[in-house]
């Protein structure tokens, strides 16, 4: 069983603040790293899928970076808004099976 850790577990920020959180994963046998946003009472939705060391992806105010050699990915949110409040999940794949191993998520609350 692969170990995928996310930190912090929860986070409260003020509207307008920028924030970031971390996903740590095994650095060996890397194939892909996924980020999902999960809003309360909704389905998790994919933000990014990254496969290459040094990859950077951006979607509006949200961006992510990937370091496969040291086994971590950062998710950044610039100028947080209340609608960014959600749980952010990362998931790691070693490519050895059609399976993803999910972290337990970072729960972000943006206060107006």
Partner 1 sequence: NAGVTQTPKFQVLKTGQSMTLQCAQDMNHEYMSWYRQDPGMGLRLIHYSVGAGITDQGEVPNGYNVSRSTTEDFPLRLLSAAPSQTSVYFCASSYAGQPNEKLFFGSGTQLSVL
Q: What is the DSSP letter of 61?
A: T
Based on the shown chain and the rule CB under 8 A, indicate whether residue 51 belongs to the binding site for partner 1.
yes
The residue (of 71 and 103) whose beta carbon lies closer to partner 1 is 103
Other residues' Cβ atoms within 10 Å of the Cβ of residue 58: 12
Q: 69-83 burial, b if ≥16 CB within 10 A, otherwise e?
A: eebbbebebeebeee
Choose between 3 and 14: whose C-beta lies nearer to partner 1: 3
Alpha carbon distance 19, 31 (integer Å): 27
* 109 scored as a contact of partner 1 (CB under 8 A): no
Nearer to partner 1, 50 or 110 (CB): 50
Residues forming contacts to partner 1 in the complex (CB under 8 A) are 1, 4, 31-32, 34, 36, 42-46, 49, 51, 89, 91, 93-95, 98-105
């Amino acid at each position: 069983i692969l170990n995928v850790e996310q930190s912090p577990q929860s986070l409260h920020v003020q509207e307008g603040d920028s924030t970031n959180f971390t996903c740590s994963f095994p650095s060996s046998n890397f194939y892909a790293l996924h980020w999902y946003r999960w809003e309360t009472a909704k389905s998790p939705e994919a933000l990014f899928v990254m496969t290459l060391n040094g990859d950077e992806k951006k979607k509006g105010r949200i961006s992510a970076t990937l370091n496969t050699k040291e086994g971590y990915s950062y998710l950044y949110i610039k100028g947080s808004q209340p609608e960014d409040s959600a749980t952010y999940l990362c998931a790691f794949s070693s490519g050895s099976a059609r399976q993803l191993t999910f972290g337990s998520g970072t729960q972000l609350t943006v206060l107006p």
